[in-house]
């Protein structure tokens, strides 16, 4: 799969699509980077919390609206999942026609645009940078086809089944904006179960399980707030004024 060609085709389609706003583009680029990290697999699984963090989306309703828009506008195919341990499935649409290799031409405008939307702090791989007027790319084979580096597959293999103690869990939860009490609940719950799922299977990556735990904790907190608000409204409705005038006609 040709990284530069796919990215250029996406930017060209963005230019002519007036339905898009910056949040749509930001989310698409976060998904594109995840697709690239998975070596352009036909289908891959994603985590909402991580995508929102990369795309700088602060609202879950905005995230769901944008990803459904991208699905209905045929930028991708979105398969939501009700399994907290699996995540939703994404299939990216192949934008553009033909599958011919890149000819080696360098477009500095598109290159700068690609770098602008690339996540900060992540090393750029497979990009073309001119040196003395010549295109230099150490990963380009003789036939001119751009290949994805094998290092992109490290993310899929870098699983940590168990945390290195209670402190590692506290640090991870703090980075995600949760307090030590929630981290303690998570650690003690899975430590008592020897870091296995409810069906007895060994956890592949405790961090992914922790993120799903945080999602459920947020949902539980929101439900508690709704119930508390409803209870408060019902209580107000039952209140009557002490100085009510019963002689007043109805």
Residue ranges of domains in the chain: 3-127, 166-235
Residue 85, pLDDT score: 67
Residue 129, pLDDT score: 40
Look-up: residue for tokens 């994805």? 148
pLDDT in tens, 83-120: 766 788 999 998 874 544 433 444 454 445 445 544 45
Q: Sort strands 44-46 and 88-92 into parallel, antiparallel or unpaired.
A: antiparallel
Which two tokens mark 164? Answer: 């290195």
Distances (CA, A) of 184 to 136, 187, 188, 204: 51, 5, 6, 20
Which two tokens mark 169? Answer: 């869990």
pTM over 0.75: no
Return the closest-CA partner of residue 33 out of 132, 140, 124. 124
Residue 248, pLDDT score: 62
Q: Where are the beta strands (DSSP E) in 8-53?
A: 44-46
CATH topology of domain 3-127: Arc Repressor Mutant, subunit A (1.10.10)
Gap between the Cα atoms of 215 and 184, Å rounded: 16
Q: Which residues of the chain have pLDDT under 70?
A: 1, 84-85, 97-159, 223-224, 232-250
Gap between the Cα atoms of 220 and 224, Å rounded: 6
pLDDT in tens, 139-166: 334 444 444 444 344 444 456 778 888 8
Contacts of 12-18 with CB under 8 Å at 24 or more apart are 12/96, 13/75, 13/95, 17/73
Gap between the Cα atoms of 156 and 100, Å rounded: 28
Residue 197, pLDDT score: 82
For residues 46 and 128, the answer to whether their CB atoms sit within 8 Å is no
Q: 39-50 burial string, b = 16+ CB within 10 Å, else e?
A: bbeeebbbbbbe
């Amino acid at each position: 799969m040709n990284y530069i060609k796919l990215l250029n085709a996406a930017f060209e389609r963005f230019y002519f699509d007036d339905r898009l706003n910056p949040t749509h583009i930001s989310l698409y680029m976060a998904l594109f980077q995840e697709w690239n990290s998975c070596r352009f697999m036909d289908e891959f699984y994603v985590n909402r919390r991580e995508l929102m963090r990369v795309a700088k989306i602060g609202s879950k309703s905005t995230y769901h609206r944008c990803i459904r828009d991208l699905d209905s506008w045929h930028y991708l195919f979105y398969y939501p999942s009700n399994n907290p341990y699996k995540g939703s499935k994404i299939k990216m649409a192949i934008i553009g026609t033909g599958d011919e290799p890149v000819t080696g031409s360098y477009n500095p405008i598109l290159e700068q645009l690609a770098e602008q939307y690339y996540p900060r702090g992540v090393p750029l791989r497979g990009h073309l940078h001119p040196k003395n007027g010549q295109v230099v790319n150490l990963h380009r084979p003789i036939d001119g086809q751009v290949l994805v580096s094998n290092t992109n597959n490290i993310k899929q293999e870098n699983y940590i089944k168990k945390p290195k103690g209670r402190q590692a869990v506290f640090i991870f939860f703090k980075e995600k904006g949760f307090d030590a009490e929630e981290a303690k609940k998570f650690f003690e719950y899975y430590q008592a179960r020897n870091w296995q799922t409810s069906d007895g299977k060994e956890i592949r990556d405790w961090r992914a399980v922790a993120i799903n735990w945080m999602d459920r904790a947020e949902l539980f907190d929101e439900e508690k707030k709704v119930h508390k608000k409803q209870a408060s409204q019902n209580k107000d409705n039952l209140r009557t004024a002490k100085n009510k005038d019963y002689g007043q006609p109805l």
